[in-house]
Amino acid sequence: MTKKEGGFLISEEDIKKRVKELADQISKDYEGKQPLLVGILKGAFIFLADLIRELSVDAEVDFLAVSSYGKATETSGEVKILKDLSESVEGRDVVIVEDIVDTGLTLRYLYDLLKTRKPASLRICALLDKKERRQVDVPVDYVGFEVPDLFLVGYGLDFAEKYRQLKYIRELTPEEVKNI
């Protein structure tokens, strides 16, 4: 991670390296098991795709789609499930795969919701963690990068559905926000 002219940046190379390290740890933790990776849409789809390709254990994938931001840069705190899981998690080893943990409100809601569905185990893997913004405790087991309190885009993270396609993660400037 670097602070470059134009703002904060996590390079494509740094992301690839860290995703491989996370996959190695998850593979070790789930050796002999077949975890269900639950990607949180839309932001985590790129991270999840890269992560699962690096796993050395068989894994299944499902998705939850939620909304708590809309077209704002701050979470509303209200979580809406837009798409629920297709598969039951009961008795399964489940890993929630999230792009970023910010206030923790959305992830805490999802964690508590999935816990009620009786998985054998439930862990969280987040590419980015903004610990300084945390409002509620949430057990993040695997963290790619701890990041400062900036609005970040790229590698699946968006603002108003833009910037997801970037192969790196960067700060979105206030000027860019105004122009969207």
Any domain includes 173: no
**Which of helix, strand or coil describes residue 15?**
helix
Catalytic residue, from 50, 93, 99, 102: name it: 102
102: annotated active-site residue = yes
143 has a pLDDT exceeding 90: yes
Full domain range(s) for residue 126 = 15-168
**C-alpha–C-alpha distance, residues 47 and 155, integer Å:** 7
Residue 128 exposed, middle or buried by CB count within 10 Å (0-12, 13-18, 19+): buried
Task: Evaluate whether residue 5 is within a structural domain.
Answer: no
Task: Tell which wins on pLDDT, 172 or 85.
Answer: 85
| CB-neighbour burial class of residue 14 (10 A; exposed 0-12, middle 13-18, buried 19+) | middle
Distance CA 10, CA 115 (A): 33
Of the chain, the percentage scoring pLDDT greater than 90 comes to 76
28 is a domain residue: yes
Domain-embedded: residue 178:
no
Confidence of residue 134 (pLDDT cuts 50, 70, 90): very high
Q: Is residue 6 part of a domain?
A: no
Does residue 103 lie within any of the structural domains?
yes
Mean pLDDT score of the chain, rounded to an integer?
Answer: 90
**pTM, to two decimals:** 0.89
Mean pLDDT within 111-136: 96
Tally of domains in the chain: 1
| pLDDT number for residue 30 | 98
pLDDT of residue 110: 95
pLDDT digits (tens, 9 = 90+) for 51-108: 999 999 999 999 999 877 555 555 556 788 999 999 899 999 999 999 999 999 999 9
State residue 176's pLDDT score: 80
CB 133 within 8 A of CB 115: no
In a domain, 177, yes or no: no
Of the candidate ranges 20-29, 80-89, 112-121, the one whose mean pLDDT is the lowest: 80-89
Task: Provide the CATH number for the domain around residue 96.
Answer: 3.40.50.2020
Spatial neighbors of 73 by CB under 8 A, at least 6 apart, are 151, 159, 172, 177
Q: How far apart are CA 168 and CA 146, in angstroms?
A: 15
Give the least confident one: 33-37, 64-68, 87-91, 153-157.
64-68
In a domain, 4, yes or no: no
The H or E element that residue 113 is part of is helix 105-115
